Amino acid sequence: MGLRSERGPILLALMLSTALIAIDATILATAVPSIVNDLGGLAQFPWLFSVYLLAQAVSVPVYAKLADTLGRKPLILVGIAIFLAGSILCGFAWSMTSLIVMRAIQGLGAGAVLPMTITIAGDIYTVAERARTQGYIASVWAVSSVVGPTLGGVFSQFVSWRWIFFVNIPICLVAMWMLSRTYHEKVERHGHRIDYAGAGVLMASLTLLILALLEGGQAWAWASWQSIGAFVIGGLLLVVFVLVERRAAEPVLPLELFSRRLIVSTSLLSLGVGAILVGLTSYVPTFLERTTGAAPVVAGLAVAALTLGWPVSASQSGRFYLRIGFRVTALIGLTLTTLGCLALWLTSTSPNVWSTAASCFLVGLGLGLVATPTLIAAQSSVPWNERAVVTGSNMFMRSVGSAVGVAIFGAIFNGVIMRQGGEASAPAIQSGSTAVFLGVLLVAGASIVVGLTMPQARVEDVEHRPAQLEPDAA
């Protein structure tokens, strides 16, 4: 079977795999109030997002390194299997703490799924072809942006929030079956050394820093020895991580990548995208439900406006970067994102579902013109044997941005509520959400500054030809 005849079924399998992460990205936020009502732990709910993103962030570089040595197929199948196990365990959680632990398992699976789907698409399509292919993959996010929040609202309101996790079971099984049947690759097997030390130090560092951000001002005072110690030790471990990576034979996060200006700028933009995305998807539903009395389904559709705007612009981004280059396309997207964040912050003092949804849609339009072109620019600037690592590094930065972002925004949100007496009243929720939206706006403004430093690369400057599909290696 020729390359072109094989790519269609593979693309379908990748779209289904993407649906796992796309639905999970929006289905949980609308169910948070129901989960809190059932399990308790309002102050702990940011951990549902941050522990998932932390596990994803730490595992992405490991999967990416292995994918460049073992191949993409075994890694994505393992990732889906872990995600499936985590979903089942989440559905049987008996407390907020247990649910947080199970979410970490889900995150370890997600750390393989999304980067591998993007890497495989990069392997089999050229940069010009990816402009059209992104439309198909973006359609998954478009459908999921409506299906996810709707299912989350329906399950939590009429059935049980536990079904937001059980719904992943059939999707995981079908995705694994399709990938096993359609995707075949020939990989030159060779010895490899997994950088366990680097991965362990990185996980410990990020865990301590996020713990300090989430629990500071809650479980302990900001000036307490626990808070200071977590920040100091976490920072020192980051320094140790850099030293370990310099000596590692096969570093989990190759530092030489960050000597390239294009990789640095696109990675920093990915960091900002992650923070903006999680800041809105985590707090908009709670903001609307508690301040306007909106039902979970309605609040979910407001979030869907953001995740609908993203694929709409992402599917058309190829028309832009093929003509005007990656940098200008990203700057247009960053401008739209900042305007949307500004509108959300200004209108949050007078809560309204429609104005919030419109602002989120504008943010989504902007993010679609930032995330997709910058990732493709980075991915296309390297050959096959570096593509998974570059893709993984970009996804890693987005996950770190999301994990650290939700921790910082959680600290801001909880701090505002504590200053207003500690009760989760409607005025306190509104004030806390407004503060979070201001933080998101500042991140968007900083991202524009980063976008200005991005090299003015065009497609012809970075494109490497895609790999050819071949039968599995013996």
pLDDT band (50, 70, 90) for residue 137: confident
DSSP reduced 3-state for 216: strand
Query: Rounded to an integer, what distance in angstroms lies between the CA atom of residue 119 and that of residue 96?
Result: 34
Q: Which residue has the higher pLDDT, 472 or 243?
A: 243
| pLDDT at residue 372 tops 60 | yes
Please state the length of the chain: 474
Question: Which DSSP string do the residues of 298-366 spell out, in sequence order?
Answer: HHHHHHHHHHHHHHHHHHHHHHHHHHH-HHHHHHHHHHHHHHHHHHHHHHTTS--HHHHHHHHHHHHHH
**CB contact at 8 A, 376 and 271:** no
pTM score over 0.85: no
Contacts of 380 (CB under 8 A, 6+ apart): 122, 127, 130, 459, 462, 463, 464
DSSP state of 249: S
Q: What is the pLDDT of residues 311-323, one digit of tens each?
A: 788 778 878 888 8
pLDDT band (50, 70, 90) for residue 471: very low
**CB contact at 8 A, 59 and 200:** no
**CB contact at 8 A, 427 and 233:** no
Query: Rounded to an integer, what distance in angstroms lies between the CA atom of residue 66 and that of residue 27?
Result: 30
Q: What percentage of the chain exceeds 90 in pLDDT?
A: 19
Q: Identify the weakest region by mean pLDDT among 9-13, 60-64, 332-336, 382-386.
A: 382-386
CATH superfamily of 3-183+250-462: MFS general substrate transporter like domains (1.20.1250.20)
Phi, psi of 216 (to 5 degrees): -60, 130
Q: Which residue has the higher pLDDT, 237 or 64?
A: 237
Query: Rounded to an integer, what distance in angstroms lies between the CA atom of residue 403 and that of residue 261?
Result: 24
| pLDDT at residue 275 tops 80 | yes
Side chain identity at 394, as an amino acid letter?
Answer: N
Side chain identity at 224, as an amino acid letter?
Answer: S
Which pLDDT belongs to residue 292?
85
Side chain identity at 161, as an amino acid letter?
Answer: W
Which pLDDT belongs to residue 135?
64
Query: Rounded to an integer, what distance in angstroms lies between the CA atom of residue 310 and that of residue 301?
Result: 14
| pLDDT at residue 37 tops 90 | no
Which pLDDT belongs to residue 154?
79
Which pLDDT belongs to residue 397?
84
Maximum average pLDDT range among 29-38, 168-177, 251-260, 394-403: 168-177
**CB contact at 8 A, 46 and 406:** yes
Q: Rounded mean pLDDT of the chain?
A: 80
Domain ranges in the chain with CATH number 1.20.1250.20: 3-183+250-462
For residue 103, CA distances in Å to 36, 41, 78, 459 come to 15, 15, 17, 39
Side chain identity at 106, as an amino acid letter?
Answer: Q
Which pLDDT belongs to residue 339?
96
What are 175's two structure tokens? 């995705």
Count other Cβ atoms within 10 Å, centred on residue 152: 30
